[in-house]
Structure 1
């Protein structure tokens, strides 16, 4: 399935990216970015050793739901404060 999605995006993005002329990236910059991603991958494997991703994913989902609900509450109060009939301060 991932291969099918990859081919689809390659098929869609290739004509778009061919229109845009990107400059050639120096080999040194590519090496630095590869090294950075290698270091990040190693850091994630160390993090995953102490706190598995199967434990982090549900906690992150709960955090995002609480965060979104809090900001929805703030936006709702802001809108209600703009309506003078309600008298909310």
Structure 2
């Protein structure tokens, strides 16, 4: 079954019950994006906490590499923003 056929069937079924599925679909997309955003923020916070716990025990060479990676990331973001 193609997506067009599926859309036709679901619109006919929704039409029988006078149900508009567009707001529901928009709501589900918003909820899904909110969940993805919360997971992403949680992962970033978890990573930062883990990195700050590891920072005092880190050898100097590893610390320098970490700072270089951070600097390159900030430069790339600065170039891509405008």
Q: TM-score range by the shorter chain?
A: 0.3 to 0.5
| Higher helix residue share | 2
**TM-score, normalised with respect to structure 2:** 0.46
